[in-house]
Chains A and B, each alone.
Chain A
């Protein structure tokens, strides 16, 4: 395992670059994100460990980071003051663009993987906003009303227009920009009795969404029948802050939790019994825990998969001021 210490700043999110297999970004905040500055770290994986290529300081806390899908050196951060800043790693110190539309903490960002001109943001102000930075527009092109503290927004990975959100009201809302306003909402379904903090779309099955939050359970949902979850993965001792499906294994999902652990799960979907069993040999239709990464010593807030190279590398960060880069296979009990 490789590690990097974000001294003085508590990690909120970590992401791998979609362009460079050695680049990571970490959004971190002083004083646990309650009050004070934020810092965006641009990290590089080198043979001698992780080094910080560069960092950008911000006035307010940072809660999420998201790489541009269209410019290899650009990335967005979500700030506590309601602003979204676009940084370019080749430019020093200041952001190249700033969007100030949200009235409260911006908590999540998602770049569209199909229409690479679009990104979306969600905020505690109860709105999801869609922006088009390439058109040189400084204003959002759509505002999708959620009405409750919106902790996460995520584009469906194979669609240019479908975006989901989860919020403090326990509901998952799915919007389609093609459907008529106002609202653009196509699905609204309850995914928890409590606050939902995170979600991620499966990279192989376009109808499958994982959600998790305060009730500690990671649930997967087939949105063709959202009345009941497909799988419920129980084990975390506190709220789950981030889930991330593997880009390599269709049945494997990571979850980072306030219980200081990152857990590796199979949702059981890839598990024909015997030959061809999924990772860890989970039986079909039954989710199970594959492993626990327990090196963090404070709340885990961010986790992401590496898209490149040997399958199954991940990075995680947390309030212990640490970024860990690790081979998911190494924490799986059955491997």
Chain B
């Protein structure tokens, strides 16, 4: 841009200065997204990816991103992969996955783990590295094979020292149990949870039928062993398999509570155990423009907040206000909130606590309907958010989730199209 348009942009940039205008402004040093894709999510233990290793899912989604974006893979400088369960953090197999996907050895790879926000943290790490000038182009990703790696082995046994500090010891309380207590504590009745969960299913069903996930899902062909016949075959997985059609709050109301006899949380109003991967290609705007990459969104900023470990579900209610505080925007400026549905109880609580418009929450459903592969979710939300913002001709979105051991994370994105 030069001449009159550049001067006009300069002057208008000086006048449009509300916080919202600042967020929407396009500057050469912005961190932008030029491609965001995910695999389908399939049920842990029995879905289409049950015989596929996490690293293989990652190879699939990396290849899809390279293919769709058309980026010269040798220009990628770093890759961050969020994952929660793999022993050793996954650093070795993720490096190998990047190489297997065709990303040259000249790019770095790291594994990162901030529990359920790992996928988002990976994207934020890459964005911050771009902001700091360390790299120009990177991939933030997330992956989880809960089929193969979910279980008690993921946590080392606590020492006596840790166990001697009550708040520290609380970090080991299982999710279901603490969420049950939190739902009681915060007075979120089961009916409300079931209603929210049913609506997640209904929204996801409608979105799936309308093909709204097609753009964000990269189909993957994998090996699959039929559990009944033992027959091994190739299977192309292109759809989330957790979305149950025709779900209603009444139907969910019949399910027995999972964690306490008089409890309110059950399999139908908590996130599903799933396998999946997602990846987001990030770069500086000036670089994207030079390479002719199509920009689909902009990363604005992210926040992290700690909460008591036993109240980990309130995380988004702590992290999202920090976004408002640091940017000066308010809740009405945001068009869509992708708040991870770890449990209907905590999601409902956060929406109520922040006073958000329920119609802006997870418009295509969430983890209750199609699953929550732990480390993947944060990266998955980016593609879900940006495609929906563009489809509905809207601009500003927040992705957020609660984080095990008591944290919340949130990120602010702007769709560009």
Contact = CB atoms under 8 A, between A and B. Distances in A.
Contact of A258 (B3, B7, B8, B14): B14
Contacts of A124: 10
Nearest to B8: A34
Given A35-B4, A194-B22, A149 B10 contact: yes
A32 B12 CA distance: 12
Contacts of B11: 32, 34
A239 B3 contact: no
B17 interface: yes
A163 interface: no
Contacts of B14: 195, 197, 213-214, 239, 258
A80 B7 contact: yes
A85 B11 CA distance: 24
Contacts of B7: 33-35, 61, 80, 105
Nearest to A29: B7
A56 interface: no
B15 A238 contact: yes
A215 interface: yes
A105 B22 CA distance: 23
A258 B15 contact: yes
Contacts of A105: 7
Contacts of B22: 194
B17 A34 contact: no
Contacts of A35: 3-4, 7
Contact of A195 (B3, B8, B13): B13
A258 B17 CA distance: 12
A216 interface: yes
B14 to A, nearest CB: 4
Interface residues on B, range: 10 to 19
B17 A216 contact: yes
B17 A194 contact: yes
Nearest to B13: A195
B12 to A, nearest CB: 11
Nearest to A124: B10
Nearest to B328: A193
Contacts of B13: 195, 214
B8 to A, nearest CB: 6
A214 to B, nearest CB: 5
Nearest to A35: B4
Interface string A73-116: 00000001000000000000000000000000100000000000
B189 to A, nearest CB: 44
A262 to B, nearest CB: 17
B78 to A, nearest CB: 23
A34 B6 CA distance: 8
B3 A215 contact: no
B10 A239 contact: no
Interface string A242-282: 00000000000000001000000000000000000000000
Nearest to A36: B4
Interface in A18-41: 32-35
A215 B16 CA distance: 10
Nearest to A105: B7
A328 B264 CA distance: 72
Contacts of B8: 34
Contacts of B17: 194, 214-216, 238-239
A248 B100 CA distance: 73
Interface in A211-259: 213-216, 238-239, 258
Interface string A187-199: 0000000110100
Interface in A38-77: 61
B16 to A, nearest CB: 9
Interface string B312-346: 00000000000000000000000000000000000
Contacts of B15: 238-239, 258
**Residue of A197, A214, A215 contacting most chain B CB atoms (<10 Å):** A214
A213 B22 CA distance: 14
A34 B8 CA distance: 6
Nearest to A31: B4
Given A34-B7, A149-B10, 15 more contacts: A32-B11, A34-B4, A34-B8, A34-B11, A35-B3, A35-B7, A80-B7, A194-B17, A195-B14, A197-B14, A214-B17, A215-B17, A238-B15, A239-B14, A258-B15
Interface of A: 32-35, 61, 80, 105, 124, 149, 194-195, 197, 213-216, 238-239, 258
21 contacts: A33-B7, A34-B7, A34-B8, A34-B11, A35-B3, A35-B7, A61-B7, A80-B7, A149-B10, A194-B22, A195-B13, A195-B14, A213-B14, A214-B13, A214-B14, A214-B17, A215-B17, A216-B17, A238-B15, A238-B17, A239-B17
Cβ-closest 5 pairs across A and B: A35-B4, A239-B14, A34-B4, A214-B17, A34-B7
